[in-house]
């Protein structure tokens, strides 16, 4: 992203933090946990990373099932909304994943964040590197679409108009993921 795109995206996420939890997409993400979590091996002794955690649509329900969640996001406004929920076993981390992470995790989960990241192969490599051996990855994002989901894509930091699942699987395999 260019400096201008970062500035526009930052401003978008400040505005979005105020209304995200009341949006239709937030409600849809809540419903997805019932479908995604049973596919994962979750236990109280695990530490998970929620990449692009936002206001905690996945972090909060995940925290009820695992020992600890690190909520990683570059938006201070989004993390402030999550912080206000006072979930004891959620650690907030305002940082770019490309800066490197000092811990390893039993799993990485992400919802509606990938389409805001320019370099998906590099992102998947970073995710793989921060996983414990045998760690799990769960990605929720848009299928390829025409750009109408967000509308003003540049102003909202959108760099991908969704993903082809097969292509994403191939990129994940190239980063080291299996199955």
- pLDDT digits over 102-130, tens only? 999 999 998 877 756 667 888 899 999 99
CATH number at residue 24: 3.40.50.150
Return the pLDDT at 25.
63
Burial class (CB in 10 A: 0-12, 13-18, 19+), 45: exposed
CB 137 within 8 A of CB 121: no
**And the tokens for 44?**
């109280």
Strands, DSSP E only, in 74-150? 90-94, 105-111, 131-140
- Residue 66: closest CA among 96, 85, 87: 87
Instruction: Give the structural domain span for 13.
Output: 3-175
Structural domains of the chain, count: 1
- pLDDT digits over 21-47, tens only? 655 665 666 778 889 999 999 999 999
Q: Can you give the pTM of this predicted structure? A: 0.77
- pLDDT digits over 55-76, tens only? 898 999 999 999 999 999 988 8
């Amino acid at each position: 992203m260019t400096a201008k795109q970062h500035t526009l995206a930052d401003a978008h996420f400040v505005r979005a933090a105020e209304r995200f939890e009341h949006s239709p997409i937030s409600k849809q993400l809540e419903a997805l946990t019932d479908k995604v979590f049973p596919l994962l091996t979750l236990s109280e002794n695990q530490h998970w990373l929620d990449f692009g955690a936002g206001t905690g649509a996945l972090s909060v329900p995940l925290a009820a099932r695992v020992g600890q969640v690190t909520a990683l996001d570059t938006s201070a406004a989004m993390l402030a909304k999550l912080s206000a929920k006072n979930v004891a076993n959620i650690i907030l981390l305002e940082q770019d994943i490309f800066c490197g992470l000092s811990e390893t995790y039993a799993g990485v989960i992400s919802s509606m964040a990938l389409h805001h990241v320019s370099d998906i192969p590099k992102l998947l490599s970073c995710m793989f590197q921060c996983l414990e051996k045998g760690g799990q990855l769960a990605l929720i994002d848009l299928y390829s679409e025409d750009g109408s989901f967000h509308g003003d894509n540049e102003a909202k930091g959108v760099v991908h108009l969704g993903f082809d699942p097969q292509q994403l699987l191939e990129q994940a395999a190239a980063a080291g993921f299996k199955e």
